[in-house]
Amino acid sequence: MIETPAVSTAPTEVITTAVPAALEASAVSAWFGDRKVLDQVSLAMPSGKVTALIGPSGCGKSTFLRILNRMHELVPGASLAGEVRIDGVDIYDATLRVTDARRQIGMVFQKPNPFPAMSIADNVLAGLTLTGIRATKTAKRDLVEECLIKAGLWKEVKDRLAQPGGGLSGGQQQRLCIARSLAVRPRVLLMDEPCSALDPTSTRRIEETIGELARDVTIVIVTHNMQQAQRVSDQCAFFLASQGTPGVIVEHGDTAAMFSAPQDPRTSDYVHGRFG
């Protein structure tokens, strides 16, 4: 059973600004029971940049992504070692509440998951309740418009905000989920293959949205689409797990350099489609 984050009852105000944060993983290892799935993964994800995690299925990319906002610990029997720091603060520090970590580090999943019976506007605002953020009706209305604009959806839905979010197309639902994540003013946004279930037109719109959001939030995206990684990211990290060994980062660096002059032959083989 997936746990629901506890709702904070402390009165707080809507965060008016959010500054992109640097995220850094140091010597992260992960297990599901006795099976080790990541081994000593270290990666710096610079503030205000897009970092793409690439590699074959089963090499630990999505597990690593979930570790970055404390979702890995929700899996029964899962464990980890190492540190994840946001602007130098360890998100696994015992004094930091899970809800506070996840408010700073949002997540957009592979499959769009809006609340289908909830209105478009209420979908955007759903995160405020979970994180205990209070706001006036005017502030909420302004927040809905702002987040839908940032997610590239406002013009398409501004005249039907009271209609159910489940009535939107797949691509629109994914952008609604992005808007919902943005409403709590995250400093980092994690995206787990956000375009894998979408048509080319919707994929292009999501990629445009990522490019626009990168000015305001640090983005880490898992993708199996090498062309997409080239289009949207500033840097890449290539994950690989072979013959039952846990996933590791083979190579990471500037995206253009990773695709034009990779340092490891395995990276070259993967980005040029020779395996994976």
In the structure, what pLDDT confidence band is assigned to residue 156 with cuts at 50, 70 and 90?
very high
Is the confidence at residue 123, as pLDDT, over 50? yes
pLDDT computed for residue 130 by the predictor: 74
pLDDT at 5: 42
Q: Does the structure show a pLDDT above 90 at 36?
A: yes
Confidence band of 3 (pLDDT split at 50, 70, 90): very low
pLDDT band at 100 (very low <50, low <70, confident <90, very high): confident
pLDDT at 97 over 50: yes
* pTM assigned to the model: 0.89
Residue 17's pLDDT band, with cuts at 50, 70 and 90, is: low
Give the pLDDT band (50/70/90) at residue 99: confident
Q: What tokens were used for 266?
A: 């395995």
What's the chain's length in residues? 276
| Residue 57 contacts residue 240 (beta carbons within 8 Å) | no
Question: What CATH number has the domain spanning 18-271?
Answer: 3.40.50.300
Whether 236 and 252 have beta carbons less than 8 Å apart is answered as: yes
Model pLDDT, residue 16: 54
Lowest mean pLDDT among 12-21, 113-122, 166-175, 231-240: 12-21
Predicted pLDDT of residue 276:
63
Token pair 């499959």 in the structure block, residue: 111
Average pLDDT, the chain: 90
Q: Domain coordinates of the chain in residue numbers?
A: 18-271
Q: Is the pLDDT of residue 209 over 80?
A: yes
- Half-sphere exposure (Cβ direction) of 74: Cα atoms closer than 13 Å: 14
Between helix 200-213 and helix 170-182 the angle, nearest 10°, is: 20
146/6: higher pLDDT? 146
Residue with more model confidence, 8 or 37:
37
The residues, ordered by sequence, that sit 6+ positions from 35 with a Cβ below 8 Å of its Cβ are none
72 phi, psi to nearest 5 deg: -60, -35
Burial readout 174-185 (b: 16 or more C-beta within 10 A, e: otherwise)? bbbbbbbbbbbb
